[in-house]
Structure 1
């Protein structure tokens, strides 16, 4: 784990402390990352899951809501950060071997953090879910990081992403699912329980339960962050890396240099193209977040590009944060974006701790309720629970999560997990 401060970078390991100059931060990426992580916490933590606005919940299967765009946007930004970080370190003279070791270490730390959060606070290891958001981030960061370490040519990254998307489509469309048959022939395409990804997840889960006695699935019969669907998720990350290469061209030497207006317009054009491509592919390979389908990757990446174009124009061109009103509009997102994984992990710790704490309650058969439910019922839903009270609780929880990140941000401390 690294802690970056305004004065330098401290590496917390068993070896002596090393310091170096902090990398330049791209404000548009920090802001978009901050909006993304705040929205991720918002949709993960409503006061009452029985009362949630439709756009603040995932699609049941095919289709896409606003919530379905959150995680792919974060992975897209992970890809962008990979390019910016690698180039910063290469300019400082770090070897590719050292960078490869850094990528592996960081991926392992993210995965270890996921395992700790899954076990906390009871540490019943037989109930661990190996898959999950942080696991997918770790794998995508690891694979995309090595690809970007090997090549940073946009055409190569796009070719690899295209191969992953087409290959995943071919697997899901043509490979027979053992015990069920061929998709579109014996079984419907993307059947919730009888698709290739779900079958593979059940097999892997059975193996881990038998050998290491842990590894349950989120949906019991399949997992939204499963093994096979990580293939197109890596493509999402690579598309973010390509976007960062485009951003870097504003500082490239002639004749590769582009103006900031051209950069914005290019992001917007690519975003519209991605959205259109996803919608065109949708009838033959439906947009589906649970399976992270190829059409979903293109559609979500298009939305990410449009969002990045808007943030780039407001932050890096118009310098909105330097105006009096803009400072107050943007600082929460800069705060969230500066330590995104840290605040996400803290949010999970807060939730699990509040669920673990028991408070006496005459309304429950057991005589106790969780601190989470008690706060919601007594402060937000005193008369009855509605979508509005559930959202109000989620907004309050996001504000609570902002506080520790704000304290770090004030001191210019950036924890690189």
Structure 2
């Protein structure tokens, strides 16, 4: 009989809450709430790999049921779920299917020409798309190759990715923004308009090539989840979890000397380091919540996020896009045209930004307000026993 781990819900919920928080910085952000410019990492760079790790944790508790149901049932459910999550991510990138052009709402097609004459398009990849692919392939690896096979395949994937980056990238600097080999793959496969441009050049931080090592993040989460489930709630399990986490972290740091720790190209050293930190923090959660039962408002706050993680993350991406179609007049621009703000932009400009001369404080205040809004939604859903699952 598998034991229930409340700490896993809290860990997953905290990860989702911080994902929403770091994605909703309306102005300049504090360094701790912003991604590292390239190599290195900040607390923000831990959030996404922690979520993938949590996906693997949850997989460990459902995989025995899949094995009992048989291969056909397993494939049907996993492929269906992965496809739905991927399509939801694509829907988010495309929605709300309308855009403002010269003071008129027009349909946003697969590609379009913006008011500056530049061709733009719907981004194919994204956070949910990466989650879908990682969940799919990690599930297949674990189901067909079992624990031992999954471990060795994970090591092979991490080493192979290192080789691919070094051999196919720019010989002068294969781990740089311009030298990374995966960009060429994404541009050729999807087309430049459908690749992320937030770095100033076509480059997708959730591209196909860097999704390969991210799969291992889910597998490591599964291995940890399986271990704590089989071992049970005892101090031997907890101490071994801390040791494993520490070893992974140190291994990541050491590997980072030759294969830099980098979230944006999801290097293999980054996988080891973040998986180690995830195991250590999960161990702390287990110690506090399962052993010492230090529960309270803080655990309850994150717990409700953990019960509807996919729904609230999608909503946090969907709502700003839809409200972005609403325009509130906000004075006159220097060229004489009317200035407009969306409702969320108005909240930042007129409520959050004025709280301090330091714009970072206003941005932080804004993200906290949004977190509380989304928390209230999942809190009411939890009270009414409404849980949205794919």
Instruction: Give, in whole Å, the separation in 1 of the partners of 2:381 and 2:62.
Output: 21
Match of 1:65 among 38, 42, 62: 42
- Equivalent position SS for 1:229: helix
Aligned pair in 2 of structure 1 residues 353, 24: CA closer, same or farther (>3 Å)? farther
Q: Which range is displaced more, 80-89 or 294-303? A: 80-89
1:399 corresponds in structure 2 to 372
Which stretches of structure 1, 4 residues or more, deviate above 3 A after TM superposition? none
Instruction: Give, in whole Å, the separation in 1 of the partners of 2:302 and 2:316.
Output: 16
Match of 1:221 among 191, 195, 202: 202
| Alignment root-mean-square deviation, CA | 1.8
1:54 corresponds in structure 2 to 31
- Equivalent position SS for 2:341: strand
Instruction: Give, in whole Å, the separation in 1 of the partners of 2:14 and 2:139.
Output: 24
Q: Give the conservation status (yes or no) of the 8 Å contact 2:195–2:203.
A: no
Instruction: Give, in whole Å, the separation in 1 of the partners of 2:353 and 2:362.
Output: 6
Q: CA offset at residue 327 of structure 1?
A: 2.5
Instruction: Give, in whole Å, the separation in 2 of the partners of 1:47 and 1:410.
Output: 31
Deviations, residues 349-376 of structure 1 (Å, cap 9, x unaligned): 2211232211011154433222222111
Match of 1:41 among 20, 23, 33: 20
Stretches of structure 1 that go unaligned for 5 or more consecutive residues are 1-22, 252-258, 321-325
1:373 corresponds in structure 2 to 345
2:162 corresponds in structure 1 to 169
Structure 2 residue 181 is matched with structure 1 residue 151: no
Stretches of structure 2 that go unaligned for 5 or more consecutive residues are 99-107, 112-120
**Superposition TM-score, scaled by structure 2 size:** 0.89
Q: CA offset at residue 25 of structure 1?
A: 4.9
Instruction: Give, in whole Å, the separation in 2 of the partners of 1:244 and 1:363.
Output: 56
Q: How does 1:272-351 map to 2 (within 5 A)?
A: 272-320=246-294, 326-351=295-320
Structure 2 residue 54 is matched with structure 1 residue 97: no
2:104 corresponds in structure 1 to none
Q: Give the conservation status (yes or no) of the 8 Å contact 2:186–2:195.
A: no
- Equivalent position SS for 2:296: helix
Q: Give the conservation status (yes or no) of the 8 Å contact 2:66–2:73.
A: no
**Superposition TM-score, scaled by structure 1 size:** 0.83
Q: CA offset at residue 47 of structure 1?
A: 2.6
Aligned pair in 2 of structure 1 residues 276, 237: CA closer, same or farther (>3 Å)? same
Instruction: Give, in whole Å, the separation in 1 of the partners of 2:376 and 2:4.
Output: 22
Structure 2 residue 330 is matched with structure 1 residue 361: yes
Q: Which range is displaced more, 228-237 or 122-131? A: 122-131
Match of 2:176 among 155, 168, 191: 191
Q: CA offset at residue 24 of structure 1?
A: 7.1
2:58 corresponds in structure 1 to 81
Q: CA offset at residue 103 of structure 1?
A: 0.2
